[in-house]
Amino acid sequence: VRSLALVAALAATAAADPLDEVGFGAASAGMEGSRRAIETGAAAVHDNPAGVARAVRPEVLLGWQYSINHLSIDDHDAGVVDAHGTSIGLAIPFAVGELRFGAGLALYLPDQYLARLQLTPLSEPHFVRFETASQRLAVEPVAAVAFGDFAIGAGASVLSDARSNELTFDVGLIGGEKQGTANLDISLPTRTAPLVGVWWRPSPAFEVAGTFRGELSLDLALDIRANVQVPGVVTGDAIVSLRSVNYYTPMKVAVAGAWHPRDDLTVTGDIAWERWSALGSGVPDLRVLVALDIQPPQIGTTTPPANFHNIVTERAGVEWITDWAALGGIWRLRAGAAHMPSPVPAQTGLTSFADGRRVAVSVGAGVRFGAGGWLSQPIDLDAAIGWQHVAHDLVHKDMDLVPGGAFSSGGDIVQASVSTTVRF
């Protein structure tokens, strides 16, 4: 019996939090995610947990968003599927004396899958941060406390691994006939990353906030084993073993501010640092161990480190409030812009991660229908559209490693979202 181990290099998937990509609620999307310092209630669960304690009533946010991806590689469609899903937020505030407490939950449910693990060969150009960026579930339970003009909140971003405890196929001779039986034990253990947020209002005209989110990923570990015991023919094992890190979401530290020059006008800014360098090699592997009576035809390969860079993203937004009684309520008009550099280094070697610097702009509007008439509590309706441009990039490979190799990438992403916030 001979054995053989084969190692295959696959490209990992790396992505920002899906709620960062699509925005949690249309108000956030309409200001390019720059509402960290002003968000309250259910919408604050993801942006800044501290804001949950600032809710006045229990409230639920329900939203839906759609991203149309026009991304190309070598001037051909890159095959990045459109992403769409539902956002659900919940905030339950209560007070004990001067202290105000809040508990909240943010959910993002992609329409197609709760998650999709898509790994392509390393040398095949593909958009490493977009292929499945918005195709995963997000679950974020939080709690917060507020006192006067200060609030602090904490929680977790929850995800799960997928791991085979046992995945075995036994082949043997029973009654002279080849027979097989299988055994499956798959576990989805929980993984969490911490979420922390603070909010402070030093004066009626200014609000500041800071948030921290830990690193998170979905690790896949599948070991499929075939035990073969056919006397006189072959005896041994064949093992297909897959390890991959998916949806790598880097540690993120953000600071934000809001300025209210007038009662009806808010200007926001947001700067975030994302630690992409911790991705490590970023290269999962598939191993095939064959301990059957066949010749070893191949050997394993090693894979280079990802060497991603840490990045700083900048976001800004503006919101104008006006009471258009003729249109039935208080309206909010919003706009935002963002600049997001790429963490991916020049792909001159074996790997071919496509990515590019992004600029994004968005506009949005919302209306609040006040209590009275058929409503016992106010209801918000919001909508937003946004456009992201991924800079065109032409990569020439190192002549020593990949002679003559080159690929180009770039494109645009159009996003639309609607949401409503209902208070009880």
Partner 1 sequence: MGIRHGLALATLVASAIPARASPVEVFGLTSRRAAQANAGAASVDDASAVYYDPAGLVARPALELEVGMLGATSHLAVGDHYASLSDPIGFQLAMRAPLPITGPFQDRIVVGVALHLLPDKVARFIAPPPDQPFYLQYGDRLSRIVVLPGLALQLSHNLAIGIAGNVLAGLTGSITAAEGSTRAIDARVDERVPTIARAIAGLTWQPVRAWRAALVYRQRFEIPFATQSTTEVAGEPIDLDLSASTQFTPDEFVAGFAWFGDKLTASLDLQYSLWSNYPGPYVRVDSALPLVGTVPAQPPSVPFKDTYAVRAGLELEAVGMMFRGGYGFETSPVPRLQRGVTNLLDGPRHTLAVGAGYPFELGGKSMRLDAHLQLQLVRSRLITKTLYDGSGTYDSFGSLIDEDANAPGFQTSNPGYPTLRSGGEVVSGGLTLEVKL
Please pick, from the candidates 81, 145, 253, 286, the single residue that binds partner 1 as defined by CB under 8 A.
286
Size of the site for partner 1 (CB under 8 A): 81
Torsion of CA 98, 92, 330, 256, to 10 degrees: 70
**C-alpha span between 424 and 422 (Å, rounded):** 7
**Based on CB atoms, which residue is closest to partner 1, 188 or 394?**
188
Q: Assess contact for 328 and 276: CB atoms under 8 A.
A: no
**C-alpha span between 209 and 21 (Å, rounded):** 20
What tokens does 354 get?
């496509």
**Based on CB atoms, which residue is closest to partner 1, 190 or 322?**
190
Phi and psi of 185, rounded to 5°? -145, 100
**C-alpha span between 385 and 335 (Å, rounded):** 10
Least distance in Å: CB of 416 to partner 1?
Answer: 22
Please pick, from the candidates 115, 255, 381, 414, the single residue that binds partner 1 as defined by CB under 8 A.
115
**C-alpha span between 10 and 120 (Å, rounded):** 6
Least distance in Å: CB of 10 to partner 1?
Answer: 6
Stretch that binds partner 1, among 39-47, 72-80, 106-114, 257-265 (CB under 8 A): 106-114
**Based on CB atoms, which residue is closest to partner 1, 296 or 305?**
296
Interface with partner 1 in residues 403-422 (CB under 8 A): 422
Least distance in Å: CB of 264 to partner 1?
Answer: 26
Please pick, from the candidates 3, 68, 74, 94, the single residue that binds partner 1 as defined by CB under 8 A.
94
Residue 189 has a CB neighbour count (10 Å cut-off) of 9
Instruction: Give the Å distances, CA to CA, from 353 to 323, 324, 344, 388.
Output: 49, 49, 7, 19
Provide the mask over 203-242, with x wherever binding to partner 1 is found by CB under 8 A and - wherever it is not. Answer: -----------------x-x-x-x-x-x--xx---x-x-x
**C-alpha span between 86 and 64 (Å, rounded):** 4
Interface with partner 1 in residues 310-369 (CB under 8 A): none
**C-alpha span between 127 and 81 (Å, rounded):** 11
Interface with partner 1 in residues 1-60 (CB under 8 A): 4, 6-10, 58, 60
Q: Is 293 in the site for partner 1 (CB under 8 A)?
A: yes
Query: Taking every pair of C-alpha atoms in the chain, what is the biggest distance, in angstroms?
Result: 88
**Based on CB atoms, which residue is closest to partner 1, 81 or 337?**
81
**Based on CB atoms, which residue is closest to partner 1, 110 or 336?**
110
Stretch that binds partner 1, among 17-25, 162-170, 251-259, 331-339 (CB under 8 A): 162-170
**Based on CB atoms, which residue is closest to partner 1, 73 or 220?**
220
Cα Rg of the chain (Å, integer):
25
**C-alpha span between 386 and 377 (Å, rounded):** 30
Within 13 Å and on the Cβ side, how many CA atoms surround 76? Answer: 5
Least distance in Å: CB of 378 to partner 1?
Answer: 8
Stretch that binds partner 1, among 24-32, 158-166, 316-324, 384-392 (CB under 8 A): 158-166
DSSP code for 165 = E
Strand 265-275, strand 311-324: pairing: antiparallel
Q: Assess contact for 242 and 220: CB atoms under 8 A.
A: yes
Interface with partner 1 in residues 374-393 (CB under 8 A): 374-377, 379
**Residue type for position 181:** T
Got the DSSP string for 302-336? ------PPPEEEEEEEEEEEEEEGGGTEEEEEEEE
Least distance in Å: CB of 315 to partner 1?
Answer: 30
**Based on CB atoms, which residue is closest to partner 1, 182 or 278?**
182
Q: Is 117 in the site for partner 1 (CB under 8 A)?
A: yes
Q: Is 290 in the site for partner 1 (CB under 8 A)?
A: yes
**C-alpha span between 242 and 6 (Å, rounded):** 11
Residues 6 or more apart in contact with residue 301 via CB below 8 angstroms: 7, 8, 9
Stretch that binds partner 1, among 115-123, 147-155, 330-338, 388-396 (CB under 8 A): 115-123
**Based on CB atoms, which residue is closest to partner 1, 62 or 395?**
62
Task: Find the angle CA(170)-CA(175)-CA(177) to the nearest 5 degrees.
Answer: 60
**Based on CB atoms, which residue is closest to partner 1, 74 or 124?**
124
Interface with partner 1 in residues 168-197 (CB under 8 A): 169-171, 174-176, 178-190
**Based on CB atoms, which residue is closest to partner 1, 11 or 151?**
11
Interface with partner 1 in residues 241-270 (CB under 8 A): 242, 244
**Based on CB atoms, which residue is closest to partner 1, 176 or 404?**
176
